[in-house]
Structure 1
Amino acid sequence: MIRTTLGVTLSTALLIGLSGLPAQSQETEKTLDTRIGKLTFQSGYPSQETVNKLYDEMDFQRASQAYLWGLPAVGLNEWRKAHYNVFKAKNGEMLSYLDFAEKLGILTPNYTTPYIATYIDLNESGPMVVVVPPGLIAGMVLDQWQRVMADLGVVGPDMGKGGKYLILPPGYGPVEADGYFVIQSTSRDVLAGFRLLDADKEKAIAELIPLIKTYTWSPAGTGEPMSVRAAGDLKWSQMPPEGMPYWDSLNEVIQREPVEERDRFVMAQLKFLGIEKGKPFKPDERQKKLLEDGAVVGQAMAKANTTDKRVEPPFWEGTNWKHALVVSVDQKANTYDQLDERAAWFYEAVVISKAMLTQTPGVGQRYIASYKDADDAWLSGENNYRLHVPANPPAKGFWSVTAYDEATRQMPVTEQGRPDISSRKEDIVKNEDGSIDVYFGPTAPKGHETNWVQTNANKGWFAYFRFYGPTEPFFDKSWG
Structure 2
Amino acid sequence: MKLNLFRKSLIASLASISFFSGVQAKQPAAADVRQTRFGALQLENGYPSKATAARLYDELDFQRATQAYLWALPAVGFKALYDAQAKTFGARNGDVVLYQTLKDKAGMLTPNITTLYAFSFWDLAKQGPLVIEVPAGLTAGGVLDIWQQPITDMGQTGPDKGAGGKFLILPPGSPEPVAPGYLIVRSPSNQIWFATRGLDPDKAVAEATVRRHRLYGWSQRDNPPTNAYVPVAGRPWQSAQPADLNYWRLLSELYANEPVAPGDRMLFGMLAPLGITPGQPFQPDARQAKVLTEAAQVGDLMARTIAYDKRIPGATVYPGKQWEYAVLFDLDQETPDKRRVQIDERSSWFYEAIGMSAGMQGRIVGFGQVYLEASKDKGGRWLDGGRTYRMRVPAGAPVKQFWSITLYDNLSRGPLITDQGAADLSSRKPDLVTNTDGSLDVSFGPVRPAGAANWIKTTPGKGWFAYFRFYGPTEAYFSKAWQLNDIEALKP
TM-score range, shorter chain: over 0.9
Deviations 1:426-451 (A, max 9, x none): 11010111111111111222332x41
Structure 2: gaps of 5 or more residues:
1-21, 484-492
Matched to 1:136, the amino acid is L
Equivalence for 1:130 = 132
* RMSD of aligned Cα (Å): 1.7
Equivalence for 1:5 = none
Mapping 1:104-119, distance limit 5 Å = 104-119=106-121
Residue 383 in structure 1 maps to residue 395 in structure 2: no
The Cα of 1:308 is off from its aligned counterpart by 1.1
Equivalence for 1:310 = 311
Deviations 1:231-276 (A, max 9, x none): 3221111111121111111111122321111011111111111111
Is this contact kept in 2: 1:212–1:228, CA < 8 A? Answer: no
Equivalence for 2:211 = 210
Is this contact kept in 2: 1:396–1:470, CA < 8 A? Answer: yes
Equivalence for 1:16 = none
TM-score of the superposed pair, with normalisation by structure 2:
0.90
**Residues 254 and 21 (structure 1), Cα distance of their counterparts in 2 relative to 1, 3 Å cut:** farther
Equivalence for 1:451 = 454
Matched to 1:171, the amino acid is G
Match of 1:91 among 72, 80, 93: 93
Residue 467 in structure 1 maps to residue 463 in structure 2: no
Equivalence for 2:14 = none
Equivalence for 1:47 = 49
Matched to 2:262, the amino acid is E
More displaced stretch, 341-350 vs 356-365: 356-365
Is this contact kept in 1: 2:91–2:230, CA < 8 A? Answer: no
Equivalence for 1:169 = 171
Deviations 1:288-342 (A, max 9, x none): 1111110111011000100011114311111111001112111111311111111
What is the SS of the residue equivalent to 1:218? helix
Q: Take 2:46 and 2:230, find their aligned partners in 1: how far apart are those partners?
A: 68
Equivalence for 2:430 = 426
Mapping 1:278-297, distance limit 5 Å = 278-297=279-298
Match of 2:332 among 330, 341, 357: 330
Matched to 1:329, the amino acid is L
Mapping 1:256-271, distance limit 5 Å = 256-271=257-272
Q: Take 2:129 and 2:160, find their aligned partners in 1: how far apart are those partners?
A: 19
The Cα of 1:219 is off from its aligned counterpart by 8.7
Equivalence for 1:410 = 414
**Residues 429 and 220 (structure 1), Cα distance of their counterparts in 2 relative to 1, 3 Å cut:** closer
What is the SS of the residue equivalent to 2:215? strand
The Cα of 1:222 is off from its aligned counterpart by 4.7
Equivalence for 1:144 = 146
Q: Take 2:438 and 2:311, find their aligned partners in 1: how far apart are those partners?
A: 35
Is this contact kept in 2: 1:111–1:419, CA < 8 A? Answer: no
Q: Take 1:223 and 1:216, find their aligned partners in 2: how far apart are those partners?
A: 8
Q: Take 2:364 and 2:262, find their aligned partners in 1: how far apart are those partners?
A: 33
TM-score of the superposed pair, with normalisation by structure 1:
0.92
What is the SS of the residue equivalent to 1:329? coil
The Cα of 1:22 is off from its aligned counterpart by 8.6
What is the SS of the residue equivalent to 1:347? helix
The Cα of 1:54 is off from its aligned counterpart by 1.0
Q: Take 1:298 and 1:203, find their aligned partners in 2: how far apart are those partners?
A: 43
Match of 1:366 among 355, 365, 370: 370
The Cα of 1:200 is off from its aligned counterpart by 2.2
What is the SS of the residue equivalent to 1:23? helix
Equivalence for 2:193 = 191
Is this contact kept in 2: 1:213–1:228, CA < 8 A? Answer: no
Match of 2:444 among 440, 443, 468: 440
The Cα of 1:203 is off from its aligned counterpart by 2.3
Q: Take 1:220 and 1:85, find their aligned partners in 2: how far apart are those partners?
A: 28
Residue 351 in structure 1 maps to residue 361 in structure 2: no
What is the SS of the residue equivalent to 1:345? helix
**Residues 122 and 21 (structure 1), Cα distance of their counterparts in 2 relative to 1, 3 Å cut:** farther
Matched to 2:214, the amino acid is K
Bigger radius of gyration among the two:
2
Matched to 2:416, the amino acid is P
Is this contact kept in 2: 1:137–1:197, CA < 8 A? Answer: yes
Is this contact kept in 1: 2:372–2:468, CA < 8 A? Answer: yes
The Cα of 1:220 is off from its aligned counterpart by 7.7
Is this contact kept in 1: 2:139–2:210, CA < 8 A? Answer: no
**Residues 279 and 447 (structure 1), Cα distance of their counterparts in 2 relative to 1, 3 Å cut:** same
Q: Take 1:287 and 1:332, find their aligned partners in 2: how far apart are those partners?
A: 31
Is this contact kept in 1: 2:406–2:424, CA < 8 A? Answer: yes
Residue 81 in structure 1 maps to residue 83 in structure 2: yes
Is this contact kept in 1: 2:384–2:460, CA < 8 A? Answer: yes
Q: Take 2:116 and 2:154, find their aligned partners in 1: how far apart are those partners?
A: 15
Q: Take 1:447 and 1:231, find their aligned partners in 2: how far apart are those partners?
A: 38
Is this contact kept in 2: 1:209–1:228, CA < 8 A? Answer: no
The Cα of 1:351 is off from its aligned counterpart by 0.2
The Cα of 1:424 is off from its aligned counterpart by 0.5
Equivalence for 2:224 = 223
What is the SS of the residue equivalent to 2:211? helix
What is the SS of the residue equivalent to 2:64? helix
Structure 1: gaps of 5 or more residues:
1-19
The Cα of 1:21 is off from its aligned counterpart by 10
Percent identity, please.
Answer: 44
Q: Take 2:141 and 2:385, find their aligned partners in 1: how far apart are those partners?
A: 33
Is this contact kept in 1: 2:140–2:155, CA < 8 A? Answer: yes
More displaced stretch, 225-234 vs 102-111: 225-234
The Cα of 1:129 is off from its aligned counterpart by 1.1
More displaced stretch, 406-415 vs 32-41: 32-41
The Cα of 1:61 is off from its aligned counterpart by 0.3
Matched to 2:382, the amino acid is W
Equivalence for 2:74 = 72
Q: Take 2:46 and 2:362, find their aligned partners in 1: how far apart are those partners?
A: 57
Matched to 1:458, the amino acid is G
What is the SS of the residue equivalent to 2:72? helix
The Cα of 1:463 is off from its aligned counterpart by 0.1
Matched to 1:275, the amino acid is I
**Residues 22 and 284 (structure 1), Cα distance of their counterparts in 2 relative to 1, 3 Å cut:** farther
Deviations 1:209-239 (A, max 9, x none): 3311111112984531315342322111111
Q: Take 1:294 and 1:45, find their aligned partners in 2: how far apart are those partners?
A: 27
Equivalence for 1:299 = 300
**Equivalences, count:** 459
Q: Take 1:151 and 1:21, find their aligned partners in 2: how far apart are those partners?
A: 78
